[in-house]
Amino acid sequence: MTTTSNSITDNTIIQVENLSKSFGTLEVIRDISFNVQKGEVLGIIGPSGSGKSTLLRCITQLEKVTGGSITICGQKMVDGGNYADKKTLREIGLKVGLVFQNFNLFPHLSVLRNITEAQRIVLKRSKEEAEQIAMDLLGKMNIADKAANYPCQLSGGQQQRVSIARALALNPQVLFFDEPTSALDPELTGEILEVIRELAKTNMTMVVVTHEMSFARDTSDHIIFMDGGVIVEQGDPHEVIGNPKEERTKQFLRRFNNL
């Protein structure tokens, strides 16, 4: 298996070492190690059930790890399976944003309030400041005219753009995407991928779990292929996707005719 990861530098935003996660006797991820540098886009690909989403949930504190270490922006979140104190975990939590595949918007709140609520509660911003930031982000997402609408009045692509704006409103140091287009109709997929491409141009640090192979190849700076809870192969996206070394990677990629 090819498991070489990026070296650790002063610009290392995420450092994952020998990470494991089990649910009872089921080992979902095992001995995962990689680093993400500031401004880098890491693409994570692999079949369903390979542990990709669980990995993201562990890094964003939605799941507790079984073993290993995670460091975010130089702060140790968990070391050898032992977690930092609550204050440190909260500080780390403010540095990461997560965009879910199923939007996770509050259905009873308007688009504007979906984006301002966390700003006001978590960051203690004033209503005026939170709304200004929300409207600026909605403008960048080309849906400023939907501020007063409710999620049920939006298309799936529009809801996902609101989710991205909500995550960005908290000024995360790194943004995670968990298959952001999997719940969308094919014709809406392209617009969300374009939003992520534009974010990449601003040097936003991102980790993207995706089934869109062409997008992963062309947008990522580094790519990881996972299967069976382990990293099978990782490296330059054009090499891993265009010229994979491992037989399991080759088998997985054969199903994508557009490559």
| Cβ neighbours of residue 187 closer than 8 Å, sequence gap 6 or more | none
Of residues 156, 152, 132, 127, the one with CA closest to residue 144: 132
pLDDT per residue, tens digit, the chain (259 aa), is: 444 455 667 789 999 999 999 999 999 999 999 999 999 999 999 999 999 999 999 999 999 999 999 999 999 999 998 999 999 999 999 999 999 888 889 999 999 999 999 999 999 999 999 999 999 999 999 999 999 999 999 999 999 999 999 999 999 999 999 988 887 888 788 889 999 999 999 999 999 999 999 999 999 999 999 999 999 999 999 999 999 999 999 999 998 866 5
Strand partners, 99: 177
Burial label for 248, CB within 10 Å (0-12, 13-18, 19+), is middle
CA distances from 40 to 15, 63, 137, 167 (A): 13, 24, 21, 18
Chain centroid offset of residue 26 CA = 24
**Two tokens, residue 215:** 């997008």
Asked if residue 111 lies in contact with residue 150, where contact means CB atoms within 8 angstroms, the answer is: yes
Q: Count CA atoms within 13 Å of residue 71 on its CB side.
A: 19
3-state secondary structure at position 49: coil
| Cβ neighbours of residue 138 closer than 8 Å, sequence gap 6 or more | 111, 112, 115, 144, 146, 147, 162, 165
